[in-house]
Amino acid sequence: MRRPKILISVVLTTLVFIIAGFGADDPDVINSKERLGEKLFFDPILSKDKSISCASCHKPEFAFADTATFSVGVGGTIGSRNSPSVTNLSGRPNLFWDGRVSSLEEQALQPIINPVEMNLPIAEALERLQKDQTYAKLFQDIFNAAPNQKNLLAAIAAYERTLETSNSPYDRYIDGDDNAISESAKRGRLLFIGKANCNNCHSGEDFTADRFKGIGLFNGADLKDAGRFEVTKNPEHEGHFKIPGLRNVALTAPYMHNGMFKTLKDVIKYYNNPDEFIKNGKNRDLSLSRPLGLTDVEINDLEAFLVTLTDDRFNKK
C-alpha cells in the first residue's frame, strides 16, 4: 500500500538533485534568489585569490560539511575550528560553534571576510560582482538592483535555507514503516532517548536543543578554545559550544569543534566515559559526571541509529 508514496518520494528526490545540483552555471535557469545563491555558493569569485568557494569547506557529498579537521583557506591558511554542516539551519537562533551570529545572512558574510578563510573585503567582493556582466544582470533581474551587501547575503542565505533534510530511514520509521531501520537501530533509538541520555541535548526535529553546553573539551592547556566565552566573556561559558543537529551526522566526520574524534563510535565512546579521554575538562556538564555504562553491543546499536538519520539525497547508490 506504500508503493505510490515511495514512488512520489523518489521522483521528488530526483527533482531536488536536478534543481539543486545541476545547471547553476546557465544564467537562463537562474531566476530566483535561491538559484543565484547556489551559483555564488559554488563560485570561487568570493575568495581573494579566486581559489576556493563556500563549497570548498562545505562539500555537498558530505552533507555540506568538511572532511578535514580544519579547513584550508586562501594561501593555505588553516582555520581553528572544524567546518560544520550547513544543512538544516533554517530557524536556528545561533550559528557557528560559538553562536556569534543569529541569522544565515550574518553567517554568510563571515567566511568571505575572514582572513583565514576567503579573505575578501566585502567592498571588493561587491566590486567584482558589479563588474561581472553575468552577475550584474542576474542581480538586476532578481533583485532589481546592482549587487550590494544586503542582496548578496540574502541570496546565499536563501540557498542555504533550501538545504533542509527530512527524508531519512528514521523519518520513514517514525511515519510508520517498521522495516525502514534495522533491529539494531531500533534498539539504538531506545538507548538514545533512554540510557545514553542523548536527547537531553539532541532533541527536536533536527536533534538539537539549540543551546550551548560544555562537554569537557576545554582545559585551558592543550585544549584552549574557550568557545562561547569568546562571545559572552562569561566565565561560566568557558568551553561551551553550540549543540549541533544530528541529521546526516554519519557523513560529517571528523566531530566536535576541534575535529578530535574521527568516527561516530569514537564520539559515543567519549560520552560513555569522558574521563578515559580527558580528565581535567573544565565546565563539563553534570550529565557527564558519571560513565553511561554502555556495552560494546549498545555502542554499536547507538551508532546504527545515528546512521539512520542520513537523508536519502546523500546515500550513495
Mean pLDDT across 124-130: 98
Look at the block and give the residue holding cell 522495516: 179
pLDDT at residue 28, as a whole number: 62
Q: Which of 40, 25, 61 is nearest to 313 (CA)?
A: 61
Contact criterion met (CB below 8 Å) for 100 and 231: yes
> Annotation-wise, does 240 bind a ligand?
no
> Annotation-wise, does 58 bind a ligand?
yes
Q: Which of 47, 46, 38, 43 is nearest to 18 (CA)?
A: 38
Question: Higher pLDDT residue, 315 or 154?
Answer: 154
Q: What is the dihedral of CA 260, 262, 265, 269, to 10 degrees?
A: -20
> Annotation-wise, does 237 bind a ligand?
no
Angle CA 136–145–86, to nearest 5: 75
**Amino acid at residue number 85:** S
Mean pLDDT across 90-109: 97
Q: What is the pTM of this model?
A: 0.89
pLDDT at residue 24, as a whole number: 52
pLDDT at residue 315, as a whole number: 84
- 65 forms beta bridges with 59
pLDDT at residue 19, as a whole number: 41
Q: Which of 283, 242, 216, 307 is nearest to 84 (CA)?
A: 242
Fold classification of 3-160 is Cytochrome Bc1 Complex; Chain D, domain 2 (1.10.760)
Q: Give the model confidence (pLDDT) of 17-67 as tens digits.
A: 434 443 455 656 899 999 999 999 999 999 999 999 999 999 999 999 999
Mean pLDDT across 175-198: 98
Contact criterion met (CB below 8 Å) for 49 and 75: yes
Distance from C-alpha of 245 to C-alpha of 75, rounded to nearest angstrom:
31
DSSP single-letter state for residue 28? G
DSSP single-letter state for residue 244? P
| Superfamily of domain 169-314, CATH level 4 | Cytochrome c-like domain (1.10.760.10)
CA dist 315 → 60, 129, 169, 171 (Å): 12, 35, 11, 14
> Annotation-wise, does 257 bind a ligand?
no
Where residue 122 falls among pLDDT bands split at 50, 70, 90? very high
Contact criterion met (CB below 8 Å) for 218 and 226: yes
Q: How many helices (H) and strands (E) does the chain have?
A: 12, 2
Q: Give the model confidence (pLDDT) of 151-181 as tens digits.
A: 999 999 999 999 999 999 999 999 999 999 9
Helix/strand/coil for 208: coil
pLDDT at residue 29, as a whole number: 87
Mark out the alpha helices in 194-293 (DSSP H runs).
229-232, 264-272
CATH 1.10.760.10 maps onto the chain at: 3-160, 169-314
Instruction: Determine which of 27-36, 195-204, 293-302 has the lowest per-residue pLDDT on average.
Output: 27-36
Whether the pLDDT of residue 108 is over 80: the answer is: yes
Whether the pLDDT of residue 229 is over 90: the answer is: yes
Question: Higher pLDDT residue, 20 or 96?
Answer: 96
Contact criterion met (CB below 8 Å) for 238 and 218: yes
Residues in the chain: 317
pLDDT at residue 15, as a whole number: 42
Q: How many C-beta neighbours within 10 Å does residue 102 have?
A: 12
Percent of the chain with pLDDT over 90: 89
- 214 forms beta bridges with 240
